[in-house]
Amino acid sequence: MLRKAKTSDVKLIHRIINLSAAKGEMLPRSLVDLYNSLRDFYVYMEEDNGPIVGVVAMHLFWENLAEIRSLYVADEYRKKGIGKKLVEACISEAITLEIYRIFALNAGSIRTSATSSR
């Protein structure tokens, strides 16, 4: 089940993101940052009251530009289309908001950019 994140999800989202960040998969986020940007987040749960197995956020940068960030799907749920559903929710919301320029960075592109600039 895909839905917008709630305040009761923030601590688990924080743990998920920062565990992923510790593996170098994404940037860490503070609790304050997550509460401030809660409306940016979607969560995916296998069942209505089940655990969160995926998260994503869409952050607005300007009137015509948004970033898809903090995309995570638990290892055992990967390759099942959950990441695609999360990203599609962000794209659908962007279109509703009349935002047609969307970008995403990943840890690999960040590491590559940092390495190539040396």
pLDDT, tens digit, 9 for 90 and up, residues 82-92: 999 999 999 99
Distance between CA atoms of residues 101 and 86, nearest Å: 17
Structural domain of 9: 2-116
- State the total domains in the chain: 1
> pTM here?
0.85
Say which CATH number the domain at 79 has.
3.40.630.30
Distance between CA atoms of residues 14 and 17, nearest Å: 5
Q: What are phi and psi of 59, to 5 degrees?
A: -105, 130
Residue keyed to tokens 């593996």: 23
What is the DSSP pairing of strand 65-73 with strand 102-104? parallel
CA 14 to chain centre: 11
Please give the residue that has the higher pLDDT: either 65 or 105: 65
